[in-house]
Chains A and B, each alone.
Chain A
Amino acid sequence: MARKSHVSTIVNGEPIEFLCDPPQTLLEVLREELQLTGTKEGCGTGDCGACTITLDGRLACACLVLAVEAEGRSIGTVEGIASGEHLHPLQKKFLEEAALQCGVCTPGLLVAAKALLDRNPQPTEQEVRYALAGNLCRCTGYDKVVRAVLDAAVEIGGESP
């Protein structure tokens, strides 16, 4: 067996080091080594978006990233969205609008929606639907999710005029 690789990364702003084997995906390491179980596995093939994270600021499917690739990179997961006890407006609106049922898709939707609002603070409904096309939800459907994202955009816009 080959020696494990030592990887230094930044996860949600904190420097983190871990050991891994090349075949381990970043998703496995986040969940099983780092106990960051917010990021979910749905398909394992890039189709469902349950594993959505940011890698150096860009969205990625953690199921299609090798953990060794994370050396020197900065990772963002759903655990980094709230500030301490303060939920992000997206999280509040998901709760208010009941935009989740089982919740397996929710972390990925939140990470993808936050990336959208960071880039485009006032998206149209169509832009929201396109931006979230890589996130599948099997229970709730998409209307409530889209409404929650649009409401969060209004709230964030109101906070920082």
Chain B
Amino acid sequence: MKSFRYEAPRTVEEAVALLAKGNGDARVLAGGTDLIVQMRTGVRHLRLIVDVKRIPETLRLEFDGTVLRLGAAVPCAAIREHRELRRIFPGFLEAAELIGSEQIQGRASVGGNVCNASPAADTVPALIALGAECVIAGPERTRSVPVEAFATGPGETVLQTGELLVELRIPAPPTGSGDAYLRFTPRTEMDIAVVGAGVCVTLDGEGRCTAARVALGAVAPTAIRVPAAEEALVGTDLGTEALELAAEEARAAARPIDDLRAPAWYRRHLAGVLTRRSLAIARDRAMRRA
């Protein structure tokens, strides 16, 4: 790796000041499972690395029953070890646990997954399905951006010079809800999503769907939400027919490319299949939590 300066500030303010002065040549280091790979393989050259793992706010992991405040640098292993989260956010945990191996999980953060802005990032569709927000600190102010609006293209985000993701705020879905995440990969572990689908549905006392969110990964330059699929679900009993209609809308919304992992037509097909299957899982979870 080329030479660079390393700083490990203890406060958000110091980190913001360093990043602001570093201009475009500075970057945040969380778990390093994307950044260090990019630096070692020569994809990225930087002058300054700002390690945010000594800042208490980025290491926060607090659930008060309503909102999960997830510090941007918390490793996936810590999320998995939390005793309550799997019951409330099973789909989000499914996504976080898919990232890499045990070794990668020990360091990789959800914040890094979001900020790296890969269209195939596994936690992003799951976060969009839950309506999660990014809390961003910057030189002028702190602002909040929904996860679905955070990435603007492959590797591109709304972050401006000097800004840093501090935490994700993930609201617990209301009673009678269920979330789920499914991805397709040739290998079960240690592979990149060909397509990923994150969904969350809410059922009322009669088993009618009152709210639905559907998001897809790896079928467009960023993860996308599929409002047409959501509309096809609300008001139904989430039976076979409704799920098939939602799958149809997911196929229609997908704008995939051909690449070495899969041709576009196959990705489009998978968008439908994974939407249908993840909705069935989310529905069954919602019924159990009614």
Q: Which residues of B contact A91 (CB under 8 A)?
A: none
Q: How many A-B Cβ pairs are below 8 Å? A: 93
In the complex, whether A46 has a CB less than 8 A from a CB of chain B is yes
Q: B39, B103, B188: which contacts A49 (Cβ < 8 A)?
A: B103
Stretch at the interface among A79-87, A127-135, A151-159: A127-135
Whether B5 and A52, one on each chain, are in contact in the complex, defined by CB atoms closer than 8 angstroms, is: no
Q: Which residues of A contact B36 (CB under 8 A)?
A: 25, 63-66
Residues 14-41 (chain B) with a chain A CB within 8 angstroms: 29, 31-33, 36-37, 39-41
In the complex, whether B106 has a CB less than 8 A from a CB of chain A is yes
Residues 211-234 (chain B) with a chain A CB within 8 angstroms: none
Whether B103 and A59, one on each chain, are in contact in the complex, defined by CB atoms closer than 8 angstroms, is: yes
In the complex, whether B4 has a CB less than 8 A from a CB of chain A is yes
In the complex, whether A71 has a CB less than 8 A from a CB of chain B is yes
User: Within the complex, what minimum Cβ distance (angstroms) separates A9 from chain B?
Assistant: 14
Whether A21 and B3, one on each chain, are in contact in the complex, defined by CB atoms closer than 8 angstroms, is: yes
User: Within the complex, what minimum Cβ distance (angstroms) separates A44 from chain B?
Assistant: 6
Q: Which residues of A contact B29 (CB under 8 A)?
A: 66, 69
Residues 49-106 (chain B) with a chain A CB within 8 angstroms: 49, 51, 53, 75, 77, 100-106
Whether B41 and A134, one on each chain, are in contact in the complex, defined by CB atoms closer than 8 angstroms, is: no
Whether B190 and A133, one on each chain, are in contact in the complex, defined by CB atoms closer than 8 angstroms, is: yes
Q: Which residues of B contact A47 (CB under 8 A)?
A: 190
In the complex, whether B258 has a CB less than 8 A from a CB of chain A is no
Q: How far is the CA of A130 from the CA of B8 in the complex (A)?
A: 34
Whether A23 and B37, one on each chain, are in contact in the complex, defined by CB atoms closer than 8 angstroms, is: no
Whether B4 and A58, one on each chain, are in contact in the complex, defined by CB atoms closer than 8 angstroms, is: no
Q: How far is the CA of A5 from the CA of B6 in the complex (A)?
A: 9
Most buried by A among B31, B37, B101, B190: B101
Q: B40, B49, B189: which contacts A130 (Cβ < 8 A)?
A: B189
User: Within the complex, what minimum Cβ distance (angstroms) separates B152 from chain A?
Assistant: 26
| Chain A residue at minimal CB-CB distance from B105 | A59
In the complex, whether A102 has a CB less than 8 A from a CB of chain B is no
| Chain B residue at minimal CB-CB distance from A5 | B6
Q: Which residues of B contact A71 (CB under 8 A)?
A: 8
In the complex, whether A124 has a CB less than 8 A from a CB of chain B is no
In the complex, whether B208 has a CB less than 8 A from a CB of chain A is no
Q: B1, B41, B106: which contacts A55 (Cβ < 8 A)?
A: B106
Whether B53 and A69, one on each chain, are in contact in the complex, defined by CB atoms closer than 8 angstroms, is: yes
Interface string of B147-180 (1 = CB under 8 A from A): 0000000000000000000000000000000000
Q: How far is the CA of A45 from the CA of B77 in the complex (A)?
A: 19
Q: Which residues of A contact B33 (CB under 8 A)?
A: 46, 61, 64
Q: How far is the CA of A60 from the CA of B75 in the complex (A)?
A: 11
In the complex, whether B2 has a CB less than 8 A from a CB of chain A is yes
Closest 3 interchain pairs by CB? A134-B101, A133-B189, A23-B1
Apart from A55-B106, A64-B37: 8 A-B pairs, beta carbons within 8 A: A22-B5, A22-B49, A23-B39, A59-B105, A60-B107, A61-B33, A68-B8, A134-B104
A-B contact pairs, 20 of them (CB 8 A): A2-B5, A22-B4, A22-B5, A22-B49, A23-B3, A23-B4, A25-B36, A45-B37, A58-B77, A58-B106, A59-B102, A59-B103, A59-B105, A64-B36, A66-B29, A69-B29, A133-B101, A134-B100, A134-B103, A135-B101
